[in-house]
Structure 1
Amino acid sequence: MSTATMTFTKPRLSFWQIWNMSFGFLGIQFGFALQNANTSRIFSTLGANPDDLAILWLAAPVTGLLVQPLIGYYSDRTWHPVWGRRRPYFAIGALLASISLCVMPNSSFLFMAAGTLWIMDASINISMEPFRAFVGDKLPPSQRTTGFAMQSFFIGIGAIVASYLPYIFNRFMGISNTAAVAGEVSDNVKYSFYAGAAMLFITVMWTVLSTKEYPPDPAFESALKSKQKKNIENEGLYQQKFMRTGLVLAALGTLLSLVIAMFALEKELFVLAIGLALFGVVHIMASYLIRQNRSYLGIVHIVKDFNTMPRTMIQLAYVQFFSWFALFAMWIYTTPAVTSHIFKTTDPRSAAYNDGADLVGKLFGDYNGIAALAAIALPFIARYTSRRVTHLIALSCGGVGLISFLFISDPGMLWLPMIGVGIAWASILSIPYAMLSGSLPSEKMGYYMGVFNFFIVIPQIVAATLLGFLLNKVFGGQSIYVLVAGGVSMIVAGLLSLMVNDRDEVNPGE
């Protein structure tokens, strides 16, 4: 069917219109922050082995990997005269995510919690993915950096408040941070999840009810009503290409699985191997469907669009890989780096270790606060330089911040590197999406924004496996050098951003 969309010039929106269309991201980040800060705690309470936490955690990014492209694809093809294109997914995802947030801290056994994590992460992604496409739908090119920066602002605010909720409930409201019965989650965590559920639903519905979407052009609406089926072009060419690609990917995934099993490598690598094999199978299925003259089916269009993604998106994939590799290095290894290098201890039972771990929690709150402020400034910097240069500057600040941990001995000075990290975090959450949106066909905005998530999940899987090897075999067990490697990776990402073809970039000074 035809998926052509509106071709008129989009009007500039006011500050409060951009605020309203982005406000739901505050609640979405509440959900993610509560999940990130408390899931390991819940798993451990329910008896999870520490060695199994990483594999249990991979459920979250893998869920996003699967859900986001599908939601993007189908939201591109949705239109309701009252609810619009993206807003139905906002509402459905918010409802399911809010229910999951209430269930998660009340899980009675480990696999219930793990299953709830899958459902919760999928539900949050159902709401979140269309929010990225929403900016491209609603805003003209000159305001897209502002739109994504507004989302970054709400991400920063949501991360700070939600991360501190258990502490607030315990310290200021007297709600216990220990459970009366072994195997149960403490009340302060439970109440935090309930508050997060309410915040997620209310803020997302604020966006749903306060923001309207532009209607599609008549050709798009007519195709939806007639349920017209459209085969892809050049079927013979794509049938052969999909079959070759599918066989190669399936073989690589199978071979990698055998290598992992033979050499007893990290089990997290199985996720990458199985993912390669399954992606190969999907290509083979698409080739078979073309052969059956059924290339009008969604799976064929999804595979074809993936294989023909815009050049700008491919260039940004490299930027994203090195950016997120650095972030995961920081998230995983800042605590052992600070406690061993600055507090001079590796004993988790010592007072010095726990002082260092508590400090890291505060530092992470600091960089999210800095990110919220930096998000306000980024559009102005981009306006007078360029988005590519702005991203280089921001990522360089983050890279220098991570590297500087090596040279700091006074714990009281650690807030300085987090300024750079916060600036980089704000840019990572906004500038790449602003650059990407200008290269995407409007009728496929949601799908490609979902696929873009691949370039966040893949470096996470790589980091979860490669960093442990580097730590033990290259860095002699010194975690501080993992942070240095992360800083170098972030600077590389900044340099790569200069090579991105930013098609609708606003000229400096405009």
Structure 2
Amino acid sequence: MKISKPELSFWQIFNMNVGFLGIQYSFGLQQSAINPIFLFLGASEEILPILNIAGPVTGLVVQPLIGAISDKTWSPRWGRRKPFFLIGALLGSMCLFAFPLSPALWFAVGLLWILDVGNNMAMEPYRAFVGDKLPDRQLSLGYQMQSLFVGAGILLANASIFLFQDWFGGGEEISGEVPKWLYYSFFIGSFLSIATILWSVLKTPEIPPSDEELAEIRSHRQMSFSARFKLPFKEIAEAVKDMPNFMWRLSAVYLFQWYALFIYWQFITPLFRATMGFDTSQAAAQAAKMSTTYNVVTTVVALVLVPLTMRFGGKKIYALSLLGTAVALFTIPNITDPVYVLYPMVFFGIGWAAMMGIPYSMVSKIVPQERRGVYMGILNMMIVIPMGIQTLTFGPIFKNLLGANSVNAMFFAGTFFVIAALLATRLRVTKEHQ
């Protein structure tokens, strides 16, 4: 029996999504500051992909499992999804505080694993939480509001990096040490990670499960520990078997899209060392300005995409946005001016807004309410599997096929975005699911 959900006001949807600000601030630091920290601590460029394997592995394991477990959870006091993203935010907060204090490369890599566990524990129950609360007609607004906070969180993270370098930087880089100006960005992230989640938790009550769902949850609690342990794995396997054809087609888009994004995040700092002659600190600051620019665009256009997708269909807007991202990546290596190189990020920002909103609203409409958590986890598996493939394969590709040249790496990523855009045109959705 499907629960009838009341429409929420704009500000109720806003408050519900505030927690994404903290989660995405953390993600923004992972995009722009983690790899420079690895470089500061002595990592070579060709091992950057494998050092980032924590994200794909933890995302592959943690998100679908937590999503499936949260589907079978209910507490009158704490709710269904909230306990998971509260614990995840607390883990993330502690790791962000400790990260710039890393005394060695192995310590920073270990912290990245724990940070990714926390972020993944928070992420998928949060996406399911939004789907739980909103009626179908408000899902596009809900997920594009998420996209707005994705842009805002990453924007703040990256702006803090180059602003703090400007205010507190200077001096020569010391091999094996993280510059002090990077500390402040991580300390702010530590605060935002828990504070913004608490805002959403306190402002947004969860909808109690239906009688049928409560009966299923009680039945689940009566199982033996071993049976409950095995159940999420069984449910994931069954959900994959029953997965709508649309999601299989989307997985092909995601394979090329997320492989390419991981290349961009890992090699944008090395690119500026090569094309502009910057040292690592200067290159990291320029990369942060790039990310700030595209996330400003994302924040501005996120909600504008709602009427556009309603008029032209999510598939068309999504495909065009991916193509625009490809244009940005082909253009960036050809510009050596640190100001003019920001202009292509307008296209990148539009693409990022589409990637962070449109697929989630499409999927949320076509999967059953009682399995939304596990399907949102599977959707994340479609993100982290390409990232895992990239971390394992791109190091040798970069070294042996691309001549260890970061310019070639960016062109490679642009080509993958063109393929993703072409595959996006194959996303067959009915009119009601656009």
TM-score by length of 1: 0.75
Contact 2:162 2:285 in 1 (8 A): no
Name the residue aligned to 1:220.
213
Q: 1:38 to 1:302 in 2, by over 3 A?
A: same
Shift of 1:478: 5.2
Unaligned residue ranges in structure 1 (runs of 5+):
1-5, 231-288
Name the residue aligned to 2:194.
201
C-alpha separation between the residues in 2 aligned to 1:326 and 1:130? 26
Q: 1:181 to 1:315 in 2, by over 3 A?
A: closer
Shift of 1:63: 1.4
Whether 1:325 and 2:259 are equivalent positions in the alignment is yes
Contact 1:160 1:368 in 2 (8 A): yes
Whether 1:461 and 2:388 are equivalent positions in the alignment is yes
* 1:158-173 to 2 correspondences below 5 Å: 158-169=153-164, 171-172=166-167
Shift of 1:116: 2.4
Name the residue aligned to 2:352.
425
Name the residue aligned to 2:289.
362
Name the residue aligned to 2:236.
302
Unaligned residue ranges in structure 2 (runs of 5+):
none
Contact 1:141 1:504 in 2 (8 A): no
C-alpha separation between the residues in 2 aligned to 1:203 and 1:62? 26
Report the residue type matching 2:211 in the other structure: P
Out of 182, 187, 204, the residue aligned to residue 211 of structure 1 is 204
Shift of 1:381: 0.7
C-alpha separation between the residues in 2 aligned to 1:17 and 1:114? 38
C-alpha separation between the residues in 2 aligned to 1:180 and 1:329? 25
Contact 2:21 2:152 in 1 (8 A): yes
Contact 1:177 1:189 in 2 (8 A): no
Report the residue type matching 1:197 in the other structure: S
Name the residue aligned to 1:274.
none
C-alpha separation between the residues in 2 aligned to 1:50 and 1:468? 9
* 1:497-508 to 2 correspondences below 5 Å: 497-503=424-430, 505=432
Contact 2:162 2:288 in 1 (8 A): no
Aligned residue pairs: how many? 433
Q: Which stretch shifts more, 362-371 or 207-216?
A: 362-371
C-alpha separation between the residues in 1 aligned to 2:400 and 2:45? 22
C-alpha separation between the residues in 2 aligned to 1:115 and 1:357? 22
Shift of 1:179: 11
C-alpha separation between the residues in 2 aligned to 1:470 and 1:109? 27
Contact 1:29 1:158 in 2 (8 A): yes
Contact 1:145 1:431 in 2 (8 A): yes
C-alpha separation between the residues in 2 aligned to 1:323 and 1:20? 30
Name the residue aligned to 1:444.
371
Report the residue type matching 1:429 in the other structure: M
TM-score by length of 2: 0.88
Shift of 1:364: 2.4
C-alpha separation between the residues in 1 aligned to 2:321 and 2:377? 24
C-alpha separation between the residues in 1 aligned to 2:146 and 2:394? 30
Q: 1:415 to 1:8 in 2, by over 3 A?
A: same
Q: Which has the larger radius of gyration?
A: 1
Q: 1:13 to 1:40 in 2, by over 3 A?
A: same
C-alpha separation between the residues in 2 aligned to 1:475 and 1:337? 13
Whether 1:97 and 2:24 are equivalent positions in the alignment is no
Whether 1:73 and 2:62 are equivalent positions in the alignment is no
Name the residue aligned to 1:22.
17
Name the residue aligned to 2:249.
315
Whether 1:63 and 2:58 are equivalent positions in the alignment is yes
Encode CA deviations 1:90-136: one digit per residue, 9 max, x unaligned: 21212222122223333445444333222221112111111111222
Name the residue aligned to 2:151.
156
Shift of 1:189: 2.8
C-alpha separation between the residues in 1 aligned to 2:359 and 2:399? 33
Q: 1:465 to 1:37 in 2, by over 3 A?
A: same
C-alpha separation between the residues in 1 aligned to 2:62 and 2:433? 32
* 1:394-433 to 2 correspondences below 5 Å: 394-405=321-332, 412-433=339-360
C-alpha separation between the residues in 2 aligned to 1:335 and 1:182? 17
Encode CA deviations 1:410-438: one digit per residue, 9 max, x unaligned: 65432332111111111111111111112
Contact 2:213 2:370 in 1 (8 A): no
Report the residue type matching 2:245 in the other structure: R
Encode CA deviations 1:279-311: one digit per residue, 9 max, x unaligned: xxxxxxxxxx9xxx9997443233232333222
Shift of 1:206: 0.5
Shift of 1:489: 2.2
Report the residue type matching 1:486 in the other structure: A
Shift of 1:494: 2.2
Contact 1:438 1:504 in 2 (8 A): no
Q: 1:162 to 1:335 in 2, by over 3 A?
A: closer
Q: Which stretch shifts more, 466-475 or 359-368?
A: 466-475
Contact 2:159 2:289 in 1 (8 A): no
Name the residue aligned to 1:114.
109
Name the residue aligned to 1:280.
none
Higher RCO (Cα < 8 Å, 6 or more apart): 2
Shift of 1:139: 1.5
Contact 2:246 2:428 in 1 (8 A): yes
C-alpha separation between the residues in 2 aligned to 1:416 and 1:67? 37
Contact 1:386 1:505 in 2 (8 A): no
Q: 1:488 to 1:227 in 2, by over 3 A?
A: closer
Report the residue type matching 2:374 in the other structure: Y
Encode CA deviations 1:327-383: one digit per residue, 9 max, x unaligned: 22322344455565x54x6xx66xxx9866654442222112111112121111101
Report the residue type matching 1:29 in the other structure: Q
Shift of 1:460: 2.1
Whether 1:391 and 2:318 are equivalent positions in the alignment is yes
Name the residue aligned to 2:416.
489
C-alpha separation between the residues in 1 aligned to 2:338 and 2:93? 38
Aligned-residue CA RMSD in angstroms? Answer: 3.3
4+ residue runs over 6 A deviation? 176-182, 293-296, 353-357
Shift of 1:81: 1.3
Whether 1:11 and 2:13 are equivalent positions in the alignment is no
C-alpha separation between the residues in 2 aligned to 1:479 and 1:331? 12
